[in-house]
Amino acid sequence: MGDMVSVCVPVFNGSPFIERCLKNILTQSYSNIEVLVIDDNSTDSSSEIIEEISKSDDRIIFNKNSNSLGLAANWNECLKKARGDWIKFQFQDDLMIRNTIQKMLDFSLQNQTLLTLSNRDYVFNTTDKKTINFYKKLRKLDSYIRDTRIVNPDEVVDIANKTLLQRNFLGEPIVGLFHRKLIKKYGYFNPKFYQLIDFEFWLRITSNMPFGFINEELNVFRVHNKSATAKTKQYKGFNRSSLDRLNIVRFILSDDLYQNYRLESEKLGYPIRNLLNDFLRKMVRKDGSLQIKKHLDDLLMPSLTLADKIAGVYKDFLHRNW
């Protein structure tokens, strides 16, 4: 029958799309799945729709949080309750082609990798030209890795450094199929992040181990005005993505799980200090933040507590802007 795959569907006010999402999952060619749906205390009719669909297929396991946990915490709740050997996320408004799970699992097993990412397509339920242009111009992993193959950590580090962490080239949570062993080794989604929760999670794993990449658009990411991605807000000229990137730099500088990132970066002839310097200057040009400018000289001073200084700046931004 094959390994069980847990398809995790975190839900919050997903009534416009959740029925189609679940029916799409249930028609996957790979049938040994559990569909773990966790509603984060929705206020719309999501629960009623899910309960009705679950009557027709016992592979659906439905839970509803008594209190709203928030985005990352609900994703982690899915990971904690998943029973499968393998885990794949599918969001309430997204889709995948019929053999997505089969293809990703086959590739993972044949290549003995614990993580496989795929390419993805976008469908737009918005007329906002700025949003549409953003996604159409977004450089995905296939901009750097052209073929379906195993990708090594040094390649990921090289791309991240060259792009100065300015884009999530690895993709949303729905593009990945990973073995549950990775949770124990590399941890859960980090709730300290606002917008780049997925990017930091994938970066933490892929900078440490080889992974598979299938350059086929196996997943479809829906973009609409009410999606979590569309809700990034601007505060005094500084946005949440920039704060998240600043925090990623802090982790790269000091966290044990990013030790291999630091080593690979040194091997590539790009010391981490260079990444910090280039990243901060890029951020000043991009965001025009007077607060970053105020701290820039201090951050660029040689110090054994550089990561702590960045942490202080990060907390200062949060205090001022939130």
| Residue ending a domain, choose from 188, 206, 231 | 231
Q: What is the number of structural domains in the chain?
A: 2
Q: Are residues 248 and 225 in the same domain?
A: no
Q: Are residues 295 and 307 in the same domain?
A: yes
Give the CATH number for residue 138: 3.90.550.10
Q: Are residues 103 and 221 in the same domain?
A: yes
| Residue ending a domain, choose from 212, 231, 250 | 231
Q: Are residues 166 and 265 in the same domain?
A: no
Predicted local distance difference test score (pLDDT) of residue 254: 86
| Residue ending a domain, choose from 181, 211, 231 | 231
Q: Are residues 139 and 216 in the same domain?
A: yes
Q: Are residues 223 and 242 in the same domain?
A: no
Q: Which domain holds residue 265?
A: 234-321
Q: Are residues 200 and 116 in the same domain?
A: yes
Q: Are residues 166 and 307 in the same domain?
A: no
- Contact partners, residue 75, CB within 8 Å, separation at least 6: 8, 10, 89, 173, 188, 189, 197
Q: Are residues 40 and 132 in the same domain?
A: yes
Q: Are residues 104 and 246 in the same domain?
A: no
Predicted local distance difference test score (pLDDT) of residue 125: 73
Per-residue pLDDT of the chain (322 residues; tens, 9 = 90+): 789 999 999 999 999 999 999 999 999 999 999 999 999 999 999 999 999 999 999 999 999 999 999 999 999 999 999 999 999 999 999 999 999 999 999 999 999 999 999 999 888 877 677 877 777 777 899 999 999 999 999 999 999 999 999 889 999 999 999 999 999 999 999 998 988 999 999 999 999 999 999 999 999 988 866 555 544 444 444 567 877 888 898 899 889 999 999 999 999 999 887 887 787 777 666 555 545 555 555 544 444 455 555 556 555 554 544 4
